[in-house]
Amino acid sequence: MRSLAYVALAIILGLTLTGFASAGKFGSPPQTTPGQNLNKTTTMTTQSNLTDEEKQMLLYMLEEEKMARDVYKYFYDKYNATIFYNIMQSEEKHMEMVENLLDKYGINYTILGYGQFENPEIQSLYEKLIAEGSNNLSSAIQVGIMIEEKDIKDLSEYIKMTTKPDIINTFENLMQGSENHLQAFTSYEMGSAIMSGTQEVHGHGFRGVMAEVMKTFRFGFTNMKQFMEKIQTLRPV
């Protein structure tokens, strides 16, 4: 059984690397540094043809993407875990995508320094998430999962609230990115649980984790029996 577990672990770690690849190059040291912590205010003169609701959703998403970036920067500085650096860089690009829409429609916006937000709801959420993720690396990964789940939920709702093709396209791209980030964090969590010997993820035991791995990565097996039989053929002689 121990040999079987080791083989399964090897498979999980291989799949986990796939999850990390979604967020960026796994294990490589940072080659660049994030943007400077400067306030940015943009004042536009072009007349916007967006509804007030569309303007507010764009401004909210800008700060929500910024919150994700700032939280991940904080955790990267604290834990030196590359997954946070990689996804932080991606969130920076997400912010730029929303900024492009704001610029296009002539909407004034301000980007404050790291950890600072104009929206009091997002400011409060940032502080709450930083506190929750400061216990250990595992808690920080859980915060990452929560952020990406919230991002996906908000984007899916906002897509229904507009008919503008460019906004819909941008939000769909942002949602795809968040789904990739969510997969990366979940993969990291699964791999860490197995490596630490807890064999417990979200209430699942070892077999439950295997089931989640199959589901997440569409491994191609139709049931657990097929998966375990495959592992059996790979057991060391």
pLDDT digits (tens, 9 = 90+) for 166-216: 999 999 999 999 999 999 999 888 777 665 555 444 544 555 555 555 555
> Could you give the C-alpha distances from 7 to 2, 11, 95, in angstroms and in order?
9, 6, 41
Q: What's the alpha-carbon Rg for the chain, to the nearest Å?
A: 20
Q: Is the pLDDT of residue 38 over 50?
A: yes
Query: Mean pLDDT, to the nearest integer, of 94-112?
Result: 96
Please give the mean pLDDT across all residues of the chain: 77
Amino acid at 93: K
Ranges 20-24, 72-76, 215-219, 226-230, most confident? 72-76
> Could you give the C-alpha distances from 180 to 23, 24, 29, in angstroms and in order?
7, 10, 21
pLDDT at 16: 47
User: In terms of pLDDT, which residue wins out, 205 or 84?
Assistant: 84
User: In terms of pLDDT, which residue wins out, 47 or 112?
Assistant: 112
Q: How confident is the model at residue 33 (pLDDT cuts 50, 70, 90)?
A: very low
Q: Which two tokens stand for residue 198?
A: 């807890």
> Could you give the C-alpha distances from 102 to 46, 61, 192, 207, in angstroms and in order?
11, 11, 40, 47
N- to C-terminal Cα separation, the chain: 13
pLDDT digits (tens, 9 = 90+) for 118-156: 999 999 999 999 999 999 999 999 999 999 999 999 999
pLDDT at 19: 44
**Which of 236, 227, 98 lies closest to 171, judged by CA?**
98
pLDDT at 28: 41
User: In terms of pLDDT, which residue wins out, 57 or 205?
Assistant: 57
Residue 36, classed as helix, strand or coil, is: coil
Domain spans of the chain?
2-233
In the CATH scheme, what architecture does the domain 2-233 have?
Answer: Up-down Bundle (1.20)
Contact assessment for residue 214 and residue 221, using Cβ atoms and an 8 Å cutoff: yes
